[in-house]
Amino acid sequence: MFPSGRRVCMGEQLAKMELFLTVTGLLQALRFWLPDGKPAPSLQGRFGLTLAPCPFAVCMNPVFLEVICSTMAFFTHRISRSFSSSAVRSVVIKNVMVIGGGQMGAGIAQVAASTGHSVTLVDMSEDILKKSVKGIEGSLKRVVKKKFADKPEAGEEFVQKILQNVSISTDPAAAVPSSDLVLEAIVENLKVKQDLFSRLDKLAPA
Ligand SMILES: NC(=O)c1ccc[n+]([C@@H]2O[C@H](COP(=O)([O-])OP(=O)(O)OC[C@H]3O[C@@H](n4cnc5c(N)ncnc54)[C@H](O)[C@@H]3O)[C@@H](O)[C@H]2O)c1
């Protein structure tokens, strides 16, 4: 199997890819920080059968919306001019507007509603929006099948509670003054995206 060259584990590349996906997944979903007074983890590791990390303490917090907020801060002049990134983190986000109710927008709206945020989902027509909400409902029902397999009533309550957090609108301008965070998931066209944000920027609170 190894006629020439260095012997390598055939799983090495796969393991590296898995490691990359695992770490980036964690970094996207969680915020990490050191507990007060604890040192940073050692980068030396411990040799044994494998090279293992030395024990270390770390705090983490699920911050889906915080990550989005920081990303938005990077991409929108308004936020990045007005706040430092640490100040952005401390902004309380209650009302979220998601523009575009397609695959991405519906998914974002679902996660935001599931985490207790009041979501206004915006698209071009009521019909599209009804389809989006149906899609969110279907997706939540799939979660219920796994999470509440033996408690169907609790499952229904779970779905309804989340759906109550989602309202729909075809007019982003009406919802923007009361929104703490605006996310777009519309058509992949920079000009259309820029036009949308320049219109909303005039209506958004300072
Ligand atoms: N689908 C993916 O896996 C994926 C991954 C990363 C990024 N994206 C990006 O996310 C964005 C949305 O992707 P998607 O897959 O959800 O697209 P999609 O086509 O499923 O949905 C886009 C939605 O935006 C609506 N829309 C278009 N222009 C609008 C406007 N001016 N105002 C309000 N609504 C408008 C459309 O009616 C449609 O419902 C795109 O920019 C895409 O490149 C998508």
pLDDT digits (tens, 9 = 90+) for 128-183: 999 999 999 999 999 999 889 899 899 999 999 999 999 999 999 999 999 999 99
Ligand 1 centroid to 41 CA: how many Å? 41
- One domain, residues 54 and 98: no
- One domain, residues 50 and 146: no
* CB of 69 shorter than 6 A to ligand 1: no
Ligand 1 centroid to 107 CA: how many Å? 11
Ligand 1, atom 20: nearest CA belongs to which residue? 102
- One domain, residues 125 and 177: yes
- One domain, residues 107 and 185: yes
For residue 128, the ligand 1 atom closest to its alpha carbon is: 39
**What average pLDDT does the segment 33-53 reach?**
83
Domain range for 114: 93-203
For residue 106, the ligand 1 atom closest to its alpha carbon is: 16
CATH number, domain of 140, equals 3.40.50.720
Q: What is the pLDDT of residue 69?
A: 52
pLDDT at 79 over 50: no
* CB of 173 shorter than 6 A to ligand 1: no
- CA contacts within 13 A on the Cβ side of 170: 7
- One domain, residues 137 and 198: yes
* CB of 135 shorter than 6 A to ligand 1: no
- One domain, residues 97 and 53: no
Ligand 1, atom 3: nearest CA belongs to which residue? 104
- One domain, residues 113 and 54: no
Lookup: tokens for 76: 């929108």
* % of the chain at pLDDT higher than 70: 83
pLDDT at 78 over 50: no
- One domain, residues 118 and 178: yes
Ligand 1 centroid to 135 CA: how many Å? 15
- Concatenated DSSP letters for 55-120? P---EEEE-HHHHHHHHHHHH-HHHHHH--HHHHHHS---EEEEE--SHHHHHHHHHHHHTT-EEE
Q: How confident is the model at residue 39 (pLDDT cuts 50, 70, 90)?
A: confident
- One domain, residues 155 and 97: yes
- One domain, residues 51 and 102: no
- One domain, residues 104 and 29: no
Ligand 1 centroid to 131 CA: how many Å? 14
pLDDT at 81 over 60: no
